[in-house]
Amino acid sequence: MTVYLFTAFPDNMLFIIGGRNNTSSGNIDTASVDRYDPLRDEWRPVKHLSVPRNRLGVAAIDGFIYAIGGGNGNSCHTSVERYDPKQDEWMSVMPLNFPRIGIYISF
């Protein structure tokens, strides 16, 4: 079971980003990202985050997706990544001033 994953909707696509996979053998945070195309009714993996993130903040702004903070195991991230769906690439942008986990984004 995957928990603490987040979604974004640029260009009428649904993106499932990061999260935690809970299994009987343990909990593993993930860097995976999947995209759903409702016109084709299909899921496909896209470029992974640079680090596993669970309980991250996600925002879609001007066609880009931002993955903000979150955690991996016992550590919290200050890093922020921006995804370009047209290029299928994540790039690092200005980090947070301090680590954050369980972030909710509003704009």
| For range 91-103, the mean pLDDT | 95
- Which pLDDT value is given to residue 5? 52
- Which pLDDT value is given to residue 21? 87
Q: Which amino acid is at 80?
A: V
| For range 4-14, the mean pLDDT | 67
**Residue 1 CB contacts under 8 Å (≥ 6 apart), including other chains:** 21, 22, 23
pLDDT band per the 50, 70, 90 thresholds, residue 98: very high
**pLDDT tens digit sequence for 27-66:** 899 999 999 998 899 999 999 999 999 999 999 899 899 9
| For range 63-73, the mean pLDDT | 94
Q: Would you call 26 helix, strand, or coil by DSSP?
A: strand
Q: Which residue has the higher pLDDT, 106 or 90?
A: 90
Mean pLDDT computed over every residue of the chain: 89
